[in-house]
Amino acid sequence: MTNQIIKMTVNGEKKEILAEPRELLIYVLREKLGLTGAHVGCETSHCGACTVEINGKSVKSCTMFAVQAEGAEITTIEGLGSPDNLHVLQANFKEHHGLQCGYCTPGMITRAHRLLQENPNPTEEDVRFGISGNICRCTGYQNIVKSILSAAAELNAAKEAAQ
């Protein structure tokens, strides 16, 4: 089957990619756009390591064909912050040791980012329910939850200070 051109906006930049319709979004992001932040974990939509944001939704990019994202706005972990300028969530994961091996972390942070957009004042239960599509095999989740709650508090404090 032939390649086709797929247009999408990734981390604010317009991209045109040549891909077969059957290519999964995760592989197009990683291999054609060089965005290796989103990870391939289970490849079966269970683990959440491949989570990216598409048109304001948290999506497991292993369970979407790239062609389905034609015209979409996509944000990956690379679009949230950089090593020199960490996103508040990234800084808090670092501060609270919200990771051990780090494999699930990009998915966790991308998912947490959307969760805080929709619910800026989550309870611990909200956070646990909100990240229930992301599996971590190292931490036991304790510090991940702590990191997200702390990031939420920091974001809210910054918002209040700005007003």
Partner 1 sequence: MFALALIELPLLYSEVYRRQGGHRMITSAFEYHRPSDLAGALSVLEEHGDDARVIAGGHSLIPMMKLRMADVPHLIDLQDIADLKGITVEVGTVTIGAMTTQHDLINNKALLAAAPIIHEAALQIADPQVRYMGTIGGNVANGDPGNDMPGLMQCLDATFTLVGPDGTRSVKAREFYEAAYMTEREDGEILTQISFPVTNSGFAYEKQKRKIGDYATAACAVLIAKEDGKVTSASVAMTNLSDVPVLSEAAGAALVGTSCDAIAMKAAVAAALQDIDPTEDNRGPVEFKIHVAGIIISRAIARAWSRA
The answer to whether 119 and 130 have CB atoms below 8 angstroms apart is yes
Select from 9, 36, 65, 91 the one that contacts partner 1 (CB under 8 A).
Answer: 65
d(CA 163, CA 153): 16
Instruction: Give least dist CB 57 to partner 1, A.
Output: 4
Return the C-alpha torsion angle 83, 87, 90, 95, nearest 10. Answer: 90
Residue among 13, 44, 125, 163 that touches partner 1 (CB under 8 A): 44
**Residue 21 found at the interface with partner 1 (CB under 8 A):** yes
Measured from the CB atom, is 10 or 24 closer to partner 1?
Answer: 24
Minimum CB separation from partner 1 for residue 54, in Å?
9
Give the residue, chosen from 27, 32, 95, 141, that forms a contact with partner 1 under the rule CB under 8 A. Answer: 27
Kindly state the smallest distance separating residue 132's Cβ from partner 1, in Å.
Answer: 4
Confirm or reject binding of residue 46 to partner 1 (CB under 8 A). yes
132 is a contact residue toward partner 1 (CB under 8 A): yes
Interaction between residue 32 and partner 1 (CB under 8 A): no
Residue 113 to residue 121: CA distance in whole angstroms: 12
* Among the listed residues 44, 52, 51, 43, the one whose alpha carbon sits nearest the alpha carbon of residue 72: 52
Nearest to 62 by CA among 36, 31, 27, 11: 27
Question: Does 57 participate in binding partner 1 (rule CB under 8 A)?
Answer: yes
Residues binding partner 1 (CB under 8 A): 1, 4, 20-22, 24, 27, 40, 43-46, 48, 51, 57-60, 63-65, 67-68, 70, 111, 115, 129-133
